[in-house]
Structure 1
Amino acid sequence: MIRQKFSQLPVVCAALVLLGACAASHKISYLQDVTSGVQQKVTNTELVTAMPGDKVSIVVNSKNPELADMFNLPVVTHRAGQSMNNTYSQSQQVSSYTVDSEGNIDFPVLGKIRVAGMKREQISATVKKQLVDKNLVNDAVVIVEFMNMGVSVMGEVSRPGRFSIDRDYLTLLDALSMAGDLTIHGKRENVLVIRKENGSETLYRVNLCDSKSLYTSPVYYLRQNDLVYVEPNEVRARQSTVNGNNVRSASFWMSLASVLTTISVLIFK
């Protein structure tokens, strides 16, 4: 009887491991509560806006290029690398304005212009209005681009790093996609977003498995300098030991079952 119980131990341990795997599988899929055709309202629809420290490119165009050039910063030429004949290849960069601590930029002729909290189109409209109202460039076309904005993604993703914001908005899902998506060991139900607000850092938790948690979150649309951190799940935490074998790991129980089986065979041989 004792020998029979010992012989069944590996089967029991294997069953427990499979049950644990099945229990964790429901934590992998995103937006599990979404059904086809159902609309989910996004409560936070803020676009990216300029903030102190940001770099903003503003280019004024006109039918009179010489007139427009008065309001454009010079194009910077820098050395991109050394060629075979000891000369340097040249590349050009559009110069940009840095938003100061008070939220202003120093624009040619117009002077200080407040841009903090403005979207690209709002900055463009503000500059154009001043140029036209002051009879400086009546046919001005103002193009605005944000130069150095980005978000950081770290933790259990395929390609952690800092990624540029190249559009007027960037969602949390966009940022995770740019980072190559979560690994199988990423905790999808508890993604952390750290945002600097009013001189302090605010922490937000988002459950990617639940559409309401995601779409109603204040960080569904990310802002520049947001940091997204994906925590490791329990499986990854168990693997953080020196050899991956602790009392909670599957490998531990499988090793234990193997040892007990060997002992039972030796005892009742």
Structure 2
Amino acid sequence: MRKLFIPFIVSVVLIAFTGCTAYKQVPYWQNIDTVDLSQSKGHYEVHIMPKDLLTITVSTSDPKAAQPFNLSVSNTTGTAGNLSTGSSLLTYLVDNSGNIDFPIIGKIHVQGLTKSECQDLIREKVKPYMSATENPVVSVRMASFRVTVIGEVGGSKVIPVATEQMSVVEALASAGDLGIHGKRKNILLIREDASGQKHHVRLDMTDANLFNSPYYYLQQNDIIYVEPSVVKTKGADLGASTSLWFSFIGIVTSVASLLVSVLRN
């Protein structure tokens, strides 16, 4: 009986240890109680890059004075080939040199500016074309901010960012969060800089230092890829629940064998 009892105990310990180890891979920000989050203080502002689409409006107390700077587009053709008669503000494409072609003024270099900096620059540019009593208000919005999340998440998707600010946590949540087979310690972030050069960095969702990372907030056109775990890549299509059943059946079988041996003796 002792010969059967010892292997049984070892099996139970191994299963319990494996379960604990697997659990430690799942929770986010496991060391948050020991991490100084003061470094994350501050509000993030996105910077304008080539190929961004900007919507720019100029407002004054006299609408006629601002009208030349607010070009609109009308009579556009839809995807089905039908003609629509609505109008909308013209969007400005930032070219590869970081410039936009603005009405009356001409080329304005906006690459690298934050939204507020761009608004201040355009305001100063339009002031000479208005009377001294006019105080123009400029609003700049980014019409092309989006990020892409793919891999082991609830649903891969391209996410439009209306607020011009999104963290990696928000992006993953918008994509349905990581699946049980997603590698939480090896999130791949691919980013393209203003010159078109692509870079990548690995993020660890189990480490609370993520909140202090310069990559916590995403930039336009960032790509997040969640890699599958080793279990998933090896074709373990039985699923987590089936694996647990097999473990349970193994334990029950071992217990039954032990009882049979005891009763026979």
Distance 1:133 1:179, change over 3 A: same
CA deviations 1:216-264 (Å, max 9, x no partner) are 32311111111111111233233x25x659xxx9589769969x98xx9
Q: Which amino acid aligns with 1:152?
A: T
Task: Verify the 8 A CA contact 1:189 1:207 in the aligned structure 2.
Answer: yes
CA deviations 1:159-218 (Å, max 9, x no partner) are 211111222422111211211211122111111101113432211111111112x12323
**Residue 68 in 1 paired to residue 66 in 2?**
yes
Match of 1:149 among 138, 145, 151: 145
Q: Which amino acid aligns with 1:202?
A: H
**Residue 158 in 1 paired to residue 154 in 2?**
yes
Corresponding residue of 1:41: 39
Q: Scaled by the length of structure 1, what TM-score is found?
A: 0.78
Aligned length: 252
- Offset of 1:150 from its aligned partner? 0.8
Instruction: Write 1 or 2 for the structure with the bigger share of helix.
Output: 2
The percent of aligned pairs where both chains have the same amino acid is 30
Moved more, 163-172 or 95-104: 163-172
> Runs of 5+ in structure 1 lacking a partner?
none
- Offset of 1:100 from its aligned partner? 0.8
Distance 1:39 1:195, change over 3 A: closer
Task: Verify the 8 A CA contact 1:128 1:140 in the aligned structure 2.
Answer: yes
Q: Scaled by the length of structure 2, what TM-score is found?
A: 0.79
- Offset of 1:16 from its aligned partner? 3.5
Corresponding residue of 1:130: 125
Corresponding residue of 1:113: 108
Distance 1:10 1:254, change over 3 A: farther
Corresponding residue of 1:183: 179
> Runs of 5+ in structure 2 lacking a partner?
none
Distance 1:254 1:181, change over 3 A: closer
**Residue 31 in 1 paired to residue 29 in 2?**
yes
Describe the SS at the equivalent of 2:170: helix
CA deviations 1:83-131 (Å, max 9, x no partner) are xxxx977554432000011100111101111111111111111111111
